């Protein structure tokens, strides 16, 4: 049974129902799933705790709702189509029946290696079908998966392993990305030198590069599957049992493990997928994200597969072997819904329209944008050249913490407006707050975006540190979840997301805490202190601008800047490497020692006319020096 909305009046009707009677609304949506035991109570909540429970005491396994539920009706339908990095390498297609058998076999491998319900498993893998199989096999046996983007450094990986006390790591020998072959197992080996909880590592052979295999700890994926039965009964899980932990960058140096649970996440990811993309049975859907991010979890794996959809997984990058790669894949598989990031759109826009010309793109019905607000210029380019002005663009706003899309047009139903996420999904109760904590009502208002009522896909806690969850999301505004984003509601009641209002930078749709980047910069032996801010970047949306106080020690500025970038790459990964580094003699600080990032942001943006009052600073002259030394 589909809960798809078909008309604009249908959307408004569903939305009103979901606000007036939220528990009845979500119970009706949840009824279409297979539950081993129905819930006693739909919702219990307290944002002060925070303590939120959906579908209390219900029993289920999310993989039965992906696999068994579709086995007899959709067994031969493609579940995952995999497109490899090299265009001339043969891809793979897994039907729902084949996926079922693969997941059951790998679930038995996990059980055979002693993985039990509640154990934590780290997945550090390239974009191969086995990564999705690994996620589902963990969910099937009741283990909690934590996927770490395979571009993160060994330090980032060991931090995450230690935080959740992972028992197992699933990885690969290497990873193909564009023209590069990247070592993956070597990074895991380095990370495991700084951890003590991992008992076994299973290595998928992708690049066939030579790797060190530690006897008694490391096992080859293909050897582990030899002779393993596909008979496997899914573990019975409680609706509020942990499904996965996904680490996101915070405003402190330590990454925070966002916790999602089985029942609510299942209901919300499928409902939002079907409605936003207006998915019809038989459509071919492609989200270009990596499974290391929440977008990959909700809209490559869980949402589409719960809906019985055909989901494409792509191993490569949009510009390899040339800037027409995305469009060749769209034509090759006759893609109907295409979901990507503004960063990718802008990078392809910079290559002009010649790479698009060889492709018809006539299968496309819906275009989507995710990760950050899309700027108007990119929106128009995407709409004109990719959608040929006939495909609606769903500009989706959501977060790792929300579990699924919260504000978005429903494709072909909601009238769109460039750079606007438009309207909330049914069940999503938004509030715009002023700094004093008053809700701004009516239209043509601007403030901080909050949510005032729970939704099934929401964060439950930050792993091992509930107080951090409370302080980050629920302490700023009483009885509200604070998103950390600014927002404008225009005269039509449409929402436009204005970006972060806290110390987080959105780089290519991936959130980086300024503190985390600063901590990495400060690891360089010659760095005395640093301050990091975001600035507008033509391709990435936001770039990282670092102000660094150094002891030069006979180094040239160029050498030192290069070394600092290498340090950040080694500690966090290339994604966090500063775009611009300015060596400074001092930082603008208040008399209490607080760095005035507002001033640093303005300088990085080149907006020197609007610095505000600098007379209260400890040393106002430092601002003049910073302006003079600004890196173009």
Mean pLDDT, to the nearest integer, of 146-158?
A: 93
* pLDDT averaged over every residue in the chain: 94
Count other C-beta atoms under 10 Å from residue 443's C-beta: 12
- Domain 504-628 classification at class level: alpha beta
Pairing of strands 120-124, 168-172: parallel
Closest CA to 455 of 35, 14, 54: 54
**Every domain range in the chain assigned CATH 3.30.300.30:** 504-628
**Structure token pair of residue 7:** 């008309």
What three-state secondary structure class fits 210? Answer: coil
Report which of residues 497 and 509 the model is more confident about.
Answer: 497
pLDDT of residue 597: 81
Rg (CA), the chain: 24
Dihedral (CA of 571, 572, 577, 581) sign: negative
Rounded to an integer, what distance in angstroms lies between the CA atom of residue 471 and that of residue 206? 42
pLDDT, tens digit (0-9, with 9 covering 90-100), for 375-401: 888 999 999 999 999 999 999 999 999
pLDDT of residue 200: 98
pLDDT of residue 537: 92
Q: Where are the alpha helices (DSSP H) in 114-261?
A: 129-141, 154-164, 185-192, 221-225
Rounded to an integer, what distance in angstroms lies between the CA atom of residue 197 and that of residue 168? 8
Measured in degrees and rounded to the nearest 5, phi and psi for residue 262 equal -65, -55
Rounded to an integer, what distance in angstroms lies between the CA atom of residue 298 and that of residue 304? 8
On the question of pLDDT at 506 being above 90, the answer is no
pLDDT tier, 501 (very low <50, low <70, confident <90, very high otherwise) = confident
Closest CA to 516 of 502, 529, 504: 504
Torsion of CA 267, 268, 273, 275, to 10 degrees: 90
Torsion of CA 328, 329, 332, 333, to 10 degrees: -160
Pairing of strands 180-183, 174-177: antiparallel
- Containing 428, the helix (H) or strand (E) segment is none
Closest CA to 100 of 308, 292, 242, 272: 308
pLDDT, tens digit (0-9, with 9 covering 90-100), for 408-432: 999 999 999 999 999 999 999 999 9
Dihedral (CA of 504, 510, 515, 517) sign: negative
**Bridge partner list, 12:** none
pLDDT tier, 374 (very low <50, low <70, confident <90, very high otherwise) = confident
pLDDT, tens digit (0-9, with 9 covering 90-100), for 452-493: 999 999 999 999 999 999 999 999 999 999 999 999 999 999
pLDDT, tens digit (0-9, with 9 covering 90-100), for 562-614: 999 999 999 999 999 999 999 999 888 866 566 888 889 899 999 888 777 67
**Every domain range in the chain assigned CATH 3.40.50.980:** 93-244
pLDDT of residue 435: 85
pLDDT of residue 615: 64
pLDDT of residue 613: 67
pTM more than 0.85? yes
Rounded to an integer, what distance in angstroms lies between the CA atom of residue 124 and that of residue 295? 16
Rounded to an integer, what distance in angstroms lies between the CA atom of residue 262 and that of residue 244? 8
pLDDT, tens digit (0-9, with 9 covering 90-100), for 192-243: 999 999 999 999 999 999 999 999 999 999 999 999 999 999 999 999 999 9
Rounded to an integer, what distance in angstroms lies between the CA atom of residue 118 and that of residue 237? 10
**Structure token pair of residue 527:** 């760095």
**C-beta separation of 505 from 544 below 8 A:** yes
Q: Is 227 left (phi over 0), alpha (psi -120 to 50) or beta?
A: left
pLDDT of residue 107: 98
DSSP 8-state assignment for residue 608: G
Count other C-beta atoms under 10 Å from residue 16's C-beta: 12
Dihedral (CA of 382, 384, 385, 390) sign: positive
On the question of pLDDT at 44 being above 80, the answer is yes
Least reliable range by pLDDT among 109-113, 361-365, 500-504: 500-504
pLDDT tier, 373 (very low <50, low <70, confident <90, very high otherwise) = confident
Spatial strand order of the sheet with 78-83 comes to: 92-95, 78-83, 310-314, 284-287, 337-340, 366-369, 393-395
**C-beta separation of 523 from 508 below 8 A:** no
Rounded to an integer, what distance in angstroms lies between the CA atom of residue 614 and that of residue 620? 6
- Residue by residue, DSSP assigns 190-207 as HHHTT-S---EEEEE-SS
pLDDT, tens digit (0-9, with 9 covering 90-100), for 242-270: 999 999 865 555 778 999 999 999 999 99
**C-beta separation of 90 from 332 below 8 A:** no
Q: How many residues are given for the chain?
A: 632
**C-beta separation of 530 from 546 below 8 A:** yes
Mean pLDDT, to the nearest integer, of 159-180?
A: 96
pLDDT tier, 1 (very low <50, low <70, confident <90, very high otherwise) = low
- Architecture of domain 93-244 in this structure: 3-Layer(aba) Sandwich (3.40)
pLDDT tier, 508 (very low <50, low <70, confident <90, very high otherwise) = confident
Count other C-beta atoms under 10 Å from residue 362's C-beta: 11
- Residue by residue, DSSP assigns 302-317 as IHHHHTT-EEEEE-S-
């Amino acid at each position: 049974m589909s809960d798809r909305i078909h008309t604009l009046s249908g959307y408004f009707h569903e939305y009103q129902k979901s606000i007036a009677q939220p528990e009845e609304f979500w119970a009706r949506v949840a009824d279409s799933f297979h539950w081993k035991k129905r819930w006693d109570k739909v919702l219990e909540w307290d944002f002060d705790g925070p303590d939120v429970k959906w579908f209390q005491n219900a029993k289920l396994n999310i993989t039965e709702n992906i696999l068994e539920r579709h086995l007899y009706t959709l067994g031969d339908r493609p579940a995952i189509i995999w497109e490899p990095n090299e265009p001339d390498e043969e891809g793979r297609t897994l039907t729902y029946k084949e996926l079922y058998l693969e997941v059951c076999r790998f679930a038995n491998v996990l059980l055979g290696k002693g993985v039990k319900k509640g154990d934590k498993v780290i997945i550090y893998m390239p974009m191969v079908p086995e990564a999705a199989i690994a996620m589902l096999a963990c969910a099937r046996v009741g283990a909690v998966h934590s996927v770490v983007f395979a571009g993160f450094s060994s330090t980032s990986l060991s931090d995450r392993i230690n935080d959740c006390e992972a028992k197992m790591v699933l990885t690969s020998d290497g990873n193909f990305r564009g023209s590069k072959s990247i070592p993956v197992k070597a990074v895991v080996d380095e990370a495991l030198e700084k951890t003590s909880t991992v008992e076994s590592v299973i290595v998928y052979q992708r690049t066939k590069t030579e790797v060190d295999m530690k006897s008694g700890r490391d096992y080859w994926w293909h050897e582990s599957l030899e002779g393993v039965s596909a008979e496997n009964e899914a573990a019975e899980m409680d609706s509020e049992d942990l499904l996965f932990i996904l680490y996101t960058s915070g405003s402190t140096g330590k990454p925070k493990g966002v916790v999602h649970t089985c029942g609510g996440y299942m209901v919300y990811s499928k409902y939002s997928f079907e409605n936003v993309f207006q998915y019809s049975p038989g459509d071919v859907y492609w989200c270009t994200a990596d499974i290391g991010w929440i977008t990959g979890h909700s809209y490559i794996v869980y949402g589409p597969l719960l809906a019985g959809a055909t989901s494409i997984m792509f191993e490569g990058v949009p510009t390899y072997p040339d800037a027409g790669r995305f469009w060749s894949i769209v034509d090759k598989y006759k893609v109907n819904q295409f979901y990507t990031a503004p960063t990718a759109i802008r990078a392809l826009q910079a290559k002009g329209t010649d790479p698009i010309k060889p492709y018809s793109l006539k299968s496309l019905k819906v275009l989507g944008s995710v990760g950050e607000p899309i700027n108007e210029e990119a929106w128009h380019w995407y709409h004109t050249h990719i959608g040929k002005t006939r495909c609606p663009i769903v500009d989706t706003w959501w977060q790792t913490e929300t579990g699924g899309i919260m504000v978005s047009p429903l494709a072909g139903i909601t009238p769109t407006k460039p750079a606007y996420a438009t309207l909330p999904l049914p069940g999503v109760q938004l509030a715009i707050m002023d700094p004093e904590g008053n809700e701004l009502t009516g239209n043509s208002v601007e403030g901080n975006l909050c949510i005032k009522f729970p939704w099934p896909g929401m964060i439950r806690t930050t792993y091992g540190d509930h107080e951090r969850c409370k302080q980050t999301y629920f302490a700023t505004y009483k009885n509200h979840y604070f998103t950390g984003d600014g927002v404008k509601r225009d005269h039509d009641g449409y929402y436009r997301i204005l970006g972060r209002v806290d110390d987080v930078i959105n780089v290519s749709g991936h959130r980086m805490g300024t503190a985390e980047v600063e901590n990495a910069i400060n690891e360089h032996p010659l760095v005395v202190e640093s301050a990091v801010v975001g600035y507008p970047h033509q391709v990435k949306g936001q770039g990282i601008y670092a102000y660094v106080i150094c002891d030069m020690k006979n180094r040239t500025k160029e050498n030192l800047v290069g070394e600092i970038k290498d340090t950040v790459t080694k500690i966090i990964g290339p994604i966090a490497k500063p775009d611009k580094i300015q060596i400074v003699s001092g930082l603008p600080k208040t008399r209490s020692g607080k760095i005035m990032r507002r001033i640093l942001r303005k300088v990085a943006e080149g907006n020197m006319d609007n610095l505000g009052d600098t007379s209260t600073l400890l040393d106002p002259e430092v601002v003049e020096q910073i302006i003079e030394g600004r890196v173009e």
